[in-house]
Amino acid sequence: MAKKILRLKLTDFINTNIEDSVIHFLHLMKESTPTFVVHCWYKKEEMDSASLFEFKQKYLEYLDIIEMSFDVFGSNEEAVWYDIINAKDDGIMSHYKFKAVYENTDDIINCIIEFNNVIKFDTQKSMGYNKHGYNKDAKDSNNRFKKMGR
């Protein structure tokens, strides 16, 4: 299964009160759903190299687990599976399948939780589970009807 790319704007959460929470949520998600990578982007004028270096050092043990990469805006316009972007930057990014737009940086956590819900649903769907949680390809999937007397 191909890895799905989650794109986040780094400068919206770095050096804020939600920085630890964002990394924590991504780390927890990665443990339960390893089929995604995180692509962080930033505008050159909004990020200094010292802040980026400090961030990488602070979360060094998590960044490889989370599979997080960093790019300056415009240097890598790859297609992403899920884009989490603030309202003021909405429209400058393209090439995404799903998108969550937030106005307040505190809502980034809610967008990450929504991403988790979408990727879990997609993963189950691709593994052959239907909306009721039954594997449609299992040989004994009709056993539930036999037990019910059907």
Q: How far apart are alpha carbons 108 and 18 in whole angstroms?
A: 9
**How many domains does the chain divide into?**
1
What mean pLDDT is reported for the chain?
81
Q: Residue 128 carries which DSSP code?
A: T
19 exposure class (CB count in 10 Å sphere: 0-12, 13-18, 19+): middle
| Structural domain span for residue 55 | 4-147
Average pLDDT, stretch 18-42? 90
Least confident of 26-40, 49-63, 97-111, 122-136: 122-136
β-pair partners for 54: none
pTM score of the predicted model? 0.76
CATH classification at residue 57: 3.40.50
Task: Please determine, for residue 75, whether its predicted confidence score (pLDDT) is greater than 80.
Answer: no
Task: Please determine, for residue 23, whether its predicted confidence score (pLDDT) is greater than 60.
Answer: yes
Task: Please determine, for residue 47, whether its predicted confidence score (pLDDT) is greater than 80.
Answer: yes
Evaluate whether 112 touches 32 at the Cβ level (below 8 Å): no
